């Protein structure tokens, strides 16, 4: 099956009745890995990521007719994935009657025994360091450092000015570096 790359055509097909499923399959293929890693860096465990990723795609499928094209499809999809991930953490915190920070800390603690985490000690430390950051700084750091998303795109996704994002990123790098040196 040829991969539909033309965004406008893809959106049109996603909104149509006849080609919707085929277009949706193409959309998943196009975004699955990028979105997986984006979500994985937020929720940490593979199983949770799988849940959130599937929810994200299902939400996209159900809400594509609401996509007005004010932003790029890419940004819209990433925004949904980001929101779904954060909602997931919030829900977990509520269920466990604790804070988001503790939920994240718990996820980090579980990493050492996670079969899908191959990191050495320093990578584990890096995850610990990231978990100490405020939510927004974590997002910006992950998106820039691991996912290589450009500030311009990040600005669309997170609806924050590029300047503020750059500042957040530099603060995050500094804090992480300080954490790693100290530990």
- List residues near another protein by CB under 8 A: 21, 24-25, 28-29, 32-33, 36-37, 40-41, 44, 46, 50, 53-54, 57-58, 61-62, 116-120, 122-124, 126-127, 145-146, 170, 173-174, 176-177, 180
Q: How far is the CB of 14 from another protein (least distance, A)?
A: 12
- Report the nearest approach of another protein to the CB of residue 68 (Å): 21
User: For another protein, which is the closer residue by CB, 6 or 118?
Assistant: 118
Whole-number Cα distances in Å, 173 to 1, 109, 138, 145, 167: 42, 22, 10, 9, 10
Size (the chain), residues: 183
Residue 80 and residue 56 in contact, taking contact as beta carbons nearer than 8 Å: yes
Say how far apart CA 81 and CA 72 lie, in whole Å.
14
Q: Which is nearer to another protein, 94 or 152 (CB)?
A: 152
Backbone phi, then psi, for 57, in 5-degree steps? -65, -40
Which of 9, 6, 23, 19 lies closest to 60, judged by CA? 23
Nearer to another protein, 49 or 75 (CB): 49
Residue 112 DSSP label:
T
Tell me how crowded residue 173 is: count the other CB atoms within 10 A of its CB.
15
Give whichever of 62 and 70 is closer to another protein, judged by the CB atom.
62
Residue 122, Cβ density class (10 Å: 0-12 exposed, 13-18 middle, ≥19 buried): exposed
Give 94 or 120: the residue with its C-beta nearer to another protein.
120
- Whose Cβ is closer to another protein: residue 98's or residue 123's? 123
Which among 123, 151, 146 has a CA at the least distance from the CA of 39?
146
């Amino acid at each position: 099956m040829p991969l539909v790359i033309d965004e406008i055509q893809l959106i049109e097909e996603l909104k149509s009745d006849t080609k919707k499923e085929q277009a949706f399959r193409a959309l998943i293929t196009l975004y699955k890995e990028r979105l997986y890693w984006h979500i994985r860096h937020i929720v940490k465990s593979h199983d949770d990521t799988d849940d959130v990723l599937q929810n994200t795609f299902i939400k996209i499928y159900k809400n594509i007719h609401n996509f007005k094209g004010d932003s790029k499809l890419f940004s819209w999809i990433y925004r949904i994935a980001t929101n779904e991930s954060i909602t997931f953490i919030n829900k977990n915190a509520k269920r466990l009657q604790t804070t988001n920070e503790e939920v994240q800390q718990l996820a980090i603690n579980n990493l050492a025994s996670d079969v899908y985490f191959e990191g050495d000690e320093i990578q584990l430390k890096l995850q610990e360091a990231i978990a100490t950051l405020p939510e927004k700084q974590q997002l910006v750091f992950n998106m820039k450092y691991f996912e290589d998303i450009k500030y311009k795109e990040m600005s669309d996704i997170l609806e924050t000015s590029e300047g503020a994002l750059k500042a957040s990123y530099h603060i995050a790098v500094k804090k992480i570096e300080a954490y790693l040196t100290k530990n």
